[in-house]
Structure 1
Amino acid sequence: MPIPGAVTVQVRDQNLALLGVVSDFTELNVISRFNAVGAFVLKIAAGDEMADLLIPGNGLVIRRDSKVLMSGPIREPNWDSGPGKGTLTINGVDDMALLAGTTCWPNPTAADSAQTDPVSKISGVVAETAMRALVNLNIGPGAQASRKISNLTLATDGLHGAAVTKQLNQFDSLLTVLQDIAKTAGLGFRIVQVGSNLQFQVYEPADLSATAKFLSGVNLTSASYSVTYPTCTKAVVVAGGETSARKVKVYTRADAAFPGPWIEQFIDKTDVDSTAADVTAQMDQAADEALTTGAAQANLTMTPIDTPLLQFGRDYTVGDQVSCQVRDDFISDVVREVNIQFDAQNGYTATASIGSSDATDNNFAAKSDALIGKIINRLRRVETRKPS
């Protein structure tokens, strides 16, 4: 049962070879997330000819036309009794799970017994180059044999993003480190199947706010927004204090939409030597990450309708910047997540969420302030409006 818009579901084996197309399923749910691990759920009659291939070790490649929406391994097949041979429900995650299951070793090319360094450091390297190096040395072509994923490749380095200076603690989560770097550099990253290999890609999200517009009554059935209070407007970063003198630096990022006392947050960088030449750059990086994560959150959830002129997976995807009509205003921000659902009774729906404190485009802080300001001003106008 194909989905409108030429969405196809292919089965792959453990070597990423394509085994066939699942053409007759009852439900499909794909949750695509920006810079995070997505997931899929597929329901199929247990007697279907493709059912025996839907086992752990194999995986799915889900496409919209020629573009891969998601690829990833099958994790949990579940069988329920019912008509015929019953129903098989397949749960899985996208290939970004490789990053979530990996730690950053202090000396990734050395043997296990040589991992004695408490920290490792990125010093003044372009963000994309730093991200590629972390993946390459920990699980990619440059990793030691016991950690190398043989079919993982890296896309060409596009040299995106500003220089990064960052100290990593031993065995930090690789996914979390990449998210932190991408957040401040305004970048997106993903792992997706390309041909017979997996490929780690870093990219600059597209600004489609002028062309990807969602309007009430046209291609938007519903929309809602929410705003949450900031959790950090003043970062108190402390370096040194263990083997070197303590250094304290305070960073403030005021939020005009939420006037009032500051909200301080202690950022522990006491593992950083305060006499190091790049200590200030490391403290700046840590403060930027804390203030970005702790900023007020503005979240918009919308239910778009695919039209011949604007379709998810073909014309926009997660990470892109789009515009959505909310009452009398247009709100522009990053598509954080899209939940695609299809079943025989309700057909195809795509629910998108845009914006949040984790948005990672280059001008997030300015756009987030504008979005929150619009919402707060509108609420204030409603609250002060006199009854007729």
Structure 2
Amino acid sequence: MTLEEPFVTVQVRDDRLSIVGVVDDFTSLTLTPRFNAVGAYVLSIAADSPKAAMLIPGNGLVIRRGSTVLMSGPIREPNWESGDGGTGKLTVNGVDDMALLAGTTCWPNPTAAASSQTDPVYKISGVAAETAMRSLVNLNIGPGAHSARKITNLTLATDGGNGPSITKQLTQFDSLLTVLQDIAKTAGLGFRIVQVGGYLQFQVYEPADLSGTAKFSFGLGNLADASYSVTAPTCTKAIVVAGGNTSARVVTVVTRADPAFPGPWIEQFVDKTDVDSAGVDAASQAAQAADEALTAGAAQGSLSMTPTDTPLLQFGRDYSVGDQVSCQVRDGFITDVIREVSISFDAQSGYVAKATVGSTDATDNKDAIARQYAYIRAIFNRLRRLETRKPS
């Protein structure tokens, strides 16, 4: 649905994050914020616009709706194409500032130079999930990083100590984004990097449960379409092997059966042979590794919905990525997470936002919520009962 008040402001920043201008004559804009992942944007403008000269690599965009920053990030790819007798159209592609995390690895000794990376692993021991996430960013690219890796304009929001205590050992040079995603998934947290003033800020937050107030249904006119599917589990028994190199091999077996899929278990080997099995936290690391494998391999209920903004319920004002909302599936409502939002703005249709609730990316189906799967399973059970009734 088109909204009467777009509230979209596109600011241009330079490589020092200073705002150098505003693009108010673009012909179209599409941006896709994603929950705990790298978002993207595409902006088109007449090539002969005076503002087009600002849209160069090295600069970036800060895109706001009212006072809310929907996305900030660098310009990556400017593209020009000719027009009918005119100077043509300039289209710039960019990513949000979460790309900093995707382009960073976790060093075994983050504060040391590359030539001094002699530690075999980096270990997180018994700290809150948010604290661990902040520490990883701080030591690898933040204020506490080695001078050669430090991003000088990156700051960290205050540590709220959210999430459970975790004990985790990282593989050498793991992707920082992937490690943060793994921690956030099990802890139920969100994270992002966004421009605040003249700095970039890494933020960890607890997504809001708006399921009681943010409701999407066909009857309310704010749900365009919906579909669901169920996939069988790929792991119901985790075989975690620790040690075996410099310490004794210890095997831990954790089973998590799924009553909806009776039958033989599905074993999965979890390699933790780099963990010292004699260490005081070996059992905690094995338990966490088993939990991650069983969670990733659980049966999935993949729900794809396309809610649409209305004057009463709007993205960026009433809900955001990561928040839990209620969506209609057949004759009931389920609660799930806003995974991403596709926002477009042009002169013809104005501002339009469509949110994806649940996971639709085949590479990301493991993010489906357990109660979502349970609800879909209940639907199937009702259908089976209907099919077994004899006609009157």
> Same fold by TM (over 0.5)?
yes
Cα distance in 1 for partners of 2:352, 2:229 equals 22
* Contact in 1 for aligned 2:31/2:342 (Cα 8 Å): yes
Alignment correspondent of 1:209: 211
1:288 matches 2:291: yes
Q: Show the counterpart of 1:373.
A: 377
Partner of 1:41: 42
1:89 Cα deviation (Å)?
1.1
- In structure 2, the partner of 1:331 is 334
Amino acid at match of 2:87: K
- Equivalent runs, 1:42-191 vs 2, <5 Å: 42-83=43-84, 84-191=86-193
In the alignment, the residues of structure 2 paired with residue 375 and residue 346 of structure 1 have an alpha-carbon distance, to the nearest angstrom, of: 37
Distance 1:91 1:377 in 2: 46
CA contact (8 A) 1:106 1:120 kept: yes
Kept after mapping to 1: 8 A contact 2:154/2:199:
yes
Q: What's the CA shift string for 1:61-87, capped at 9, x where partnerless?
A: 111211111111111111111142111
Decide whether aligned partners of structure 1 residues 380 and 16 sit closer, same or farther in structure 2, where only a CA change above 3 A counts: farther
* Cα distance in structure 2, aligned partners of 1:381 and 1:351: 35
Aligned length: 383
Which stretches of structure 1, 4 residues or more, deviate above 4 A after TM superposition?
A: 381-388
CA distance in 2, matches of 1:256, 1:306: 38
Shift of residue 358, structure 1, vs aligned partner: 4.2
Partner of 2:6: 5
RMSD: 1.9
The within-5 A match list for 1:265-344 is 265-344=268-347
- Paired amino acid for 2:120: P
d(CA) in 1 for partners of 2:275 and 2:126? 16
The 1:173/1:386 distance shift into structure 2, 3 A limit, reads farther
Q: CA deviation at 1:351?
A: 2.6
What SS class does the counterpart of residue 144 from structure 1 fall into? coil
Q: Report the 3-state secondary structure (helix = DSSP H, G, I; strand = E; otherwise coil) of the residue aligned with 1:33.
A: coil
CA contact (8 A) 1:301 1:352 kept: no
Deviation at 1:258, TM superposition (A): 2.8
Q: 1:92 to 1:381 in 2, by over 3 A?
A: farther
User: Closer, same or farther in 2 for the Cα pair 1:18/1:382, shift >3 Å?
Assistant: farther
Taking the aligned partners of 1:318 and 1:348, their CA distance within structure 2 comes to 18
Change (3 A) 1:240 1:217: same
SS at match of 1:50: helix
Deviation track 1:208-254 (CA, whole Å, cap 9, x = no partner) reads: 00000002132212222222222222211111111111111111222
Q: Which deviates more from structure 2 when the two are superposed, residues 107-116 or residues 217-226?
A: 217-226
SS class of match (1:259): coil
Structure 2: distance between partners of 1:331 and 1:292: 20
Q: Identity across aligned pairs (percent)?
A: 74
Q: Deviation per CA, 1:82-128, whole angstroms, max 9, x where unpaired?
A: 14211111111110000010011111111111101121110101111
Query: How far apart are residue 342 of structure 1 and its match?
Result: 2.9
| Secondary structure of 1:183 counterpart | helix
Answer yes or no: is the 8 Å Cα contact 2:305–2:358 preserved in 1: no
- Matches of 2:378 and 2:343, distance apart in 1: 29
- Kept in 2: contact 1:241–1:247 (CA 8 A): yes
Alignment check: 8 A CA contact 1:234 1:265 kept: yes
Q: Secondary structure in 2 aligned to 1:261? A: coil
SS in 2 for 1:117: coil
Are residues 1:352 and 2:376 paired?
no
Instruction: Structure 1: give runs of 5+ residues left out of the alignment.
Output: none
2:230 aligned partner: 227
1:303 to partner: Cα distance: 2.4
Deviation at 1:294, TM superposition (A): 1.7
TM-score normalised by length of structure 1: 0.93
Distance 1:226 1:5, change over 3 A: farther
Looking at structure 1, the residues matched to 347 and 323 of structure 2 have their Cα atoms a distance apart, in angstroms, of 30
Q: Is the Cα contact below 8 Å between 1:257 and 1:376 reproduced in 2?
A: no
Kindly tell me: are residues 57 and 385 of structure 1, through their superposed partners in 2, closer, same or farther at Cα, counting changes over 3 Å?
farther
